[in-house]
């Protein structure tokens, strides 16, 4: 997928859009209507706000992202009659436009992309590629702005706080940017700085988005969708709280030893605030670069193992979902260790949720189908499997079985298996198409966790002994951990 900003000719763009966008088999088998809608919206002018200058609705990825969002929204009103549909489409266009201006965060595009990956519960393969192409290099805060943030947060200039500080950001974060610096004591650090006012912008935007989406409420699961939006808002806002992220990072760090070969960077409290987060700089590269170096199967397997161990450990011991396992959050270090850097989007399960999810695992391992069904129904907010339409139950069971499949396989599990990965995607697609997406908001997080993680492992074409790892990691209560 290209990263140019809409320099292609209109005809070519249309062709590429048609290829990349999803097709609705019943109402829009060629995808042409969707492509036209997206094209039309992207040609309309949007008043550019101070945060959204980076979002270019004209670019192909932006259009594709928008397209998936539209696809998801539309799947909500396919049953409406023609008149209702046109009316909805007007609202849809308005919502999409607003959505376009929500690119205050170049990273928000990524965030939005991930958000899409959850909302539509559709992650086709091309989309995974589009998402990974969404890199925006230009750091959006100039140094004078960064300095003002520092004066507010520390009462001192960056160059006074640190022994040295790079004026240019080296990486984009979703809600800010990351600079390299060195402490007076000599340590190399990464300093993440948040855009001023971003939290309020998110709140205002999501409020508006909800208002615009309101008239589309044509299905019985709509309230559930709104609940999910609320949960997403919470998720985005969580990422604005760097103090919270620092706490998660510090907690996580305690659970890994040198032998684990998983590194959670040290947090430097004296250099961190709600809007600035300073952590130990980890030297290494991200997934794309790792793959570009043509790693051997052994290396792929090693990193896959580390990734699964790392996420399972936090899952079993702290009952966390790392709801944001996208490639940018893992660093492939030169010495073969895996760095795990972003805890901004950590969802801690409640005891009740944990019991339910443990029961699901038990039912899976013991092949207790009755119990498996009961838990699945409960997770979808039904009291009993009997209450569910048989088709809904069947599709959902298929999805949950897919989630649990790696737990059942002795020996190496191959995440690079295309058949396996696509089966998961298909089942999600089907769930979306049939609009069986009602579920506890926890689902949103666990889906991100599972799909995000598996998409990385799939791209890595890595294998590991999932069952063994889970047995080992879940057995920790028996040991003397506190």
Partner 1 sequence: MRISEQAKLDSRARILEKAAELFIGKGFEDTTTRDIALAAGLAAGTMFNYFPSKETLAMTMVTEALGQGMEDFRRRRTGEEELTEELFLFIASGLRRLRQLRPFLGPVLERSLSPFPRKSVCHEGEAARLGHLAVVQEIIGRHGFTAAPDYVAMTIYWSLYLGILAFWTNDESPNQEESRGLIDYSLRCFVQVISGTIAERGAAHAN
Ligand X SMILES: Nc1ncnc2c1ncn2[C@@H]1O[C@H](COP(=O)(O)OP(=O)(O)OP(=O)(O)O)[C@@H](O)[C@H]1O
> Where along the sequence are the contacts to ligand X (CB under 6 A)?
107, 110, 171, 173-175, 178, 190, 192, 239, 265, 279-282, 324, 328-329, 331, 341-342, 344
Of residues 12, 86, 90, 145, which one binds partner 1 by CB under 8 A? 145
Least Å from the CB of residue 232 to partner 1: 23
Residue 191 to residue 58: CA distance in whole angstroms? 32
Least Å from the CB of residue 449 to ligand X: 14
Residue 173 to residue 75: CA distance in whole angstroms? 31
Rounding to the nearest 10 degrees, give the CA dihedral for residues 131, 132, 134, 140. Answer: 120
Contacts 24+ apart (CB under 8 A), 295-302: 297/461, 297/463, 299/336, 300/416, 300/460, 300/461, 300/462, 300/463, 301/412, 301/462, 301/463, 301/464, 302/336
Q: By C-beta, is 100 or 124 nearer to partner 1?
A: 100
* Placement of tokens 């925006």 in the chain: 136
Task: Determine how many CB atoms are found less than 10 A away from the CB of residue 168.
Answer: 10
Least Å from the CB of residue 374 to partner 1: 48
Helix (H) or strand (E) holding 205, with range, is helix 198-213
28 binds, among partner 1, ligand X, none (CB under 5 to 8 A by kind): none
- DSSP letters for 40-84: HHHHS--PPPTT-TT--TTSHHHHHHHHHHHHHHHTTSTTS-HHH
Least Å from the CB of residue 152 to partner 1: 4
Residue 115 to residue 67: CA distance in whole angstroms? 13
Region of residue 335 (left: phi > 0; alpha: psi -120 to 50; beta: else): alpha
- For residue 17 the two structure tokens come to 């859009």
196 binds, among ligand X, partner 1, none (CB under 5 to 8 A by kind): partner 1
Burial of 144 (0-12, 13-18, 19+ CB in 10 A): exposed
Of residues 33, 147, 180, 461, which one binds partner 1 by CB under 8 A? 147
Nearest residue to ligand X by CB is 173
For residue 108, state whether it binds partner 1 (rule: CB under 8 A).
Answer: no
- DSSP letters for 151-182: HHHHSS-HHHHSSEE-SS-SEEETTEEEEEEE
3-class secondary structure, 482: coil
For residue 204, state whether it binds partner 1 (rule: CB under 8 A).
Answer: no
Buried b (16+ CB within 10 A) or exposed e, 212-231: bbebbeebebbebbebbbeb
Of residues 23, 24, 39, 58, which one binds partner 1 by CB under 8 A? 58
Q: By C-beta, is 174 or 427 nearer to ligand X?
A: 174
175 binds, among partner 1, ligand X, none (CB under 5 to 8 A by kind): ligand X
For residue 55, state whether it binds partner 1 (rule: CB under 8 A).
Answer: yes
* Placement of tokens 């760090």 in the chain: 253
For residue 157, state whether it binds partner 1 (rule: CB under 8 A).
Answer: yes
The two beta strands, 284-285 and 262-263, are: unpaired
Least Å from the CB of residue 259 to ligand X: 21
173 binds, among partner 1, ligand X, none (CB under 5 to 8 A by kind): ligand X
The 113-142 contact track toward partner 1, x by CB under 8 A, reads -------------------------xxxxx
Least Å from the CB of residue 188 to ligand X: 9
Least Å from the CB of residue 176 to partner 1: 12
Instruction: Using the rule CB under 8 A, give the single segment among 82-90, 113-121, 194-202, 359-367 that binds partner 1.
Output: 194-202
* Placement of tokens 């550019």 in the chain: 48
Of residues 30, 164, 168, 214, which one binds partner 1 by CB under 8 A? 168
3-class secondary structure, 112: helix
Q: By C-beta, is 7 or 27 nearer to partner 1?
A: 7
The two beta strands, 262-263 and 338-340, are: parallel
Least Å from the CB of residue 220 to partner 1: 40
Q: By C-beta, is 31 or 328 nearer to ligand X?
A: 328
Q: By C-beta, is 266 or 401 nearer to ligand X?
A: 266
**First-to-last C-alpha distance (Å) of the chain:** 48
Instruction: Using the rule CB under 8 A, give the single segment among 46-54, 222-230, 385-393, 428-436 that binds partner 1.
Output: 46-54
* Placement of tokens 């170049």 in the chain: 106
Of residues 50, 297, 350, 471, which one binds partner 1 by CB under 8 A? 50
Of residues 79, 152, 289, 369, which one binds partner 1 by CB under 8 A? 152
Least Å from the CB of residue 344 to ligand X: 4
For residue 54, state whether it binds partner 1 (rule: CB under 8 A).
Answer: yes
Give phi and psi for 240, each to the nearest 5.
Answer: -85, -10
The 379-418 contact track toward partner 1, x by CB under 8 A, reads ----------------------------------------
Residue 266 to residue 252: CA distance in whole angstroms? 10
User: Which chain residues interact with partner 1 by CB under 8 A?
Assistant: 5, 48-51, 53-56, 58-59, 138-145, 147-148, 151-152, 157, 167-168, 196-197, 200
């Amino acid at each position: 997928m290209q990263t140019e900003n809409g320099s292609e000719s209109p005809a070519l763009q249309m062709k590429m859009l048609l290829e990349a966008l999803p097709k609705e088999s019943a109402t829009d088998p060629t995808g042409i209507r969707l492509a036209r809608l997206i094209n039309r919206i992207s040609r309309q002018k949007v008043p550019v706000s101070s945060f959204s200058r980076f979002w270019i609705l004209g670019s192909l990825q932006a259009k594709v992202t928008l397209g998936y969002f539209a696809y998801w929204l539309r799947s909500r009103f396919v049953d409406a009659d023609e008149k209702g549909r046109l009316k909805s489409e007007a609202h849809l266009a308005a919502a999409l436009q607003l959505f376009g201006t929500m690119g205050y965060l170049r990273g928000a595009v990524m965030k939005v992309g991930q958000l899409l990956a959850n909302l539509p519960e559709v992650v086709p393969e091309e989309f995974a590629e589009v998402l990974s192409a969404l890199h925006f290099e230009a750091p959006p805060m100039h140094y004078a702005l960064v300095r003002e943030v520092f004066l507010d947060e520390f009462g001192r200039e960056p160059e006074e706080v640190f022994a040295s500080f790079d004026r240019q950001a080296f990486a984009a974060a979703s809600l800010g940017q990351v600079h390299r610096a060195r402490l007076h004591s000599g340590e190399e650090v990464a300093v993440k700085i948040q855009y001023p006012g971003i939290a309020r912008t998110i709140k205002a935007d999501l409020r508006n988005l909800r208002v615009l989406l309101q008239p589309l409420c044509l299905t019985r699961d709509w309230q559930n969708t709104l609940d999910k939006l609320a949960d997403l808002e919470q998720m985005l806002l969580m990422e604005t709280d760097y103090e919270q992220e620092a706490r998660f990072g510090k907690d996580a760090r305690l659970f890994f030893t040198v032998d684990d070969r998983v590194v959670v960077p040290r947090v430097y409290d004296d250099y961190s605030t709600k809007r600035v987060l300073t952590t130990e700089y980890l030297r290494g590269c991200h997934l794309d670069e790792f793959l570009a170096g043509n790693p051997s199967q052994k290396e792929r397997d090693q990193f896959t193992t580390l990734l699964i161990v790392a996420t399972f450990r936090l899952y079993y011991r702290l009952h966390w979902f790392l709801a944001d396992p996208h490639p940018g959050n893992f660093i492939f270090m030169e010495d073969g260790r895996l760095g795990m850097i972003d805890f901004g989007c950590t969802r801690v399960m409640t005891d009740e949720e944990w019991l339910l999810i443990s029961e699901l695992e038990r039912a899976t391992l013991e092949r207790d189908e009755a119990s498996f069904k009961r838990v699945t129904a409960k997770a979808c907010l039904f009291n009993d499997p009997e209450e569910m339409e048989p088709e809904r139950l069947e599709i959902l069971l298929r999805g949950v079985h897919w989630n649990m499949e790696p737990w059942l396989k002795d020996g190496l599990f191959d995440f690079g298996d295309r058949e396996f990965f696509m089966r998961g995607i298909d089942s999600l697609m089907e769930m979306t198409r049939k609009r069986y997406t009602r579920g506890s908001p926890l689902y949103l997080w666990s889906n991100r966790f599972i799909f995000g993680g598996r998409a990385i492992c799939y791209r890595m074409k890595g294998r590991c002994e999932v069952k063994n790892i889970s047995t080992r990691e879940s057995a920790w209560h028996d040991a003397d951990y506190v």
